[in-house]
Amino acid sequence: MPDRELAPEEARLAALLGRLVEDYERQVTEGKTKRFTPVERLRYLMEEHQLRQGDLVDVFGTQSVVSEILSGKRSIDKKQARRLSARFHLPMEAFL
């Protein structure tokens, strides 16, 4: 079948379908990331990147701080969130 230009109605329908797909993908992606707490997200990223607690000392200062954060005894502060953001190329808010 030879290529042809879309009729105006077909072009509008194609644009609408494209927007619907983009909206759906954005909602699915946002829904997945919002379900994680900052610590759960960090644990997931550590697993994905095959990192151990010692690998994050440069972000948190000491291995004991990493341990306290992963165990829920301490929260990630803004400075640490900024470092995690740079390391994993995610928004800082993902870790707060």
Per-residue pLDDT of the chain (96 residues; tens, 9 = 90+): 557 888 999 888 888 888 888 888 877 776 655 578 999 999 999 999 999 999 999 999 999 999 999 999 999 999 999 999 999 999 999 999
According to the model, what pLDDT value does residue 13 have?
Answer: 86
d(CA 15, CA 43): 39
Q: How many CB atoms lie within 10 A of CB 60?
A: 22
- Residue 73 has a pLDDT of 96
The pLDDT score that the predictor gives to residue 28 is 73
What is the rounded CA–CA span in Å between residue 96 and residue 94?
6
Please work out, in degrees rounded to the nearest 5, the angle formed at the alpha carbon of residue 31 by the alpha carbons of 25 and 32: 95
